[in-house]
Amino acid sequence: MSKMTLVFTLLFGMVAELGAAPQGSKPSLDYQFFKSKVQPIFLKKREGRARCISCHVTPTGPVFRLQKLQPGETTWNEEQSRKNYEAVTTAIAFPGNAKSPLLIHPLAEEAGGDLFHSGGKQFPSKEDAEWQTLRAWVMGQTSSTSAQAGTR
């Protein structure tokens, strides 16, 4: 192999690796944190707004679909929570991305959110405690109770 070819091969290898890295080592969002702190936000009724679960629900909800609760059920079981986690992390929450739709779509435009959400601007500002919980999760905070961060 000539020196040139060698350099080329090495370079190409590096580029290929760079391209592949985000997928291979994709950071994951903490499941326990999602289950205990994020999910309740989807269930909560806010003044003048419908609950997230009223619209974002299987089988017909827009963009991301939460599992349907049966009458009498107040929260999701383990299996349903896993499915919710899957739905949310696939569609609207991306690890470390502060512009994830989950963060900017339900946030008031004047507070840094985007223009319009059919479900209303549920969080008036970034000071909102629930919004901060969502952000902390997207930015990689893990549940303090789970020793094995990153497991799902």
Residues near ligand HEC (CB under 6 A) are 50, 52, 54-56, 62-63, 92, 101-102, 105-106, 117-119, 122
Q: State the minimum distance, in angstroms, from the CB of residue 52 to ligand HEC.
A: 3
Q: What share of the chain is helix, strand, coil (3-state, %, to 5)?
A: 45, 5, 50
Report the residue number, 52 or 142, with the smaller CB distance to ligand HEC.
52
Are 33 and 152 spatial neighbours (Cβ–Cβ below 8 Å)? Answer: no
Report the residue number, 13 or 96, with the smaller CB distance to ligand HEC.
96
What does the alpha-carbon distance between residue 148 and residue 34 come to, in Å, rounded to a whole number?
14
Are 132 and 28 spatial neighbours (Cβ–Cβ below 8 Å)? Answer: no
Report the residue number, 9 or 90, with the smaller CB distance to ligand HEC.
90
| DSSP assignments along 49-89, one per residue | S--HHHHSBTTT-SSS-BPPPPTT--S--HHHHHHHHHHHH
Q: State the minimum distance, in angstroms, from the CB of residue 70 to ligand HEC.
A: 20
Report the residue number, 108 or 149, with the smaller CB distance to ligand HEC.
108
Q: Which residue is closest to ligand HEC by CB?
A: 119
Q: State the minimum distance, in angstroms, from the CB of residue 92 to ligand HEC.
A: 4
Q: State the minimum distance, in angstroms, from the CB of residue 127 to ligand HEC.
A: 16
Are 18 and 24 spatial neighbours (Cβ–Cβ below 8 Å)? Answer: no
Q: What length does the chain have?
A: 152
Q: State the minimum distance, in angstroms, from the CB of residue 22 to ligand HEC.
A: 20
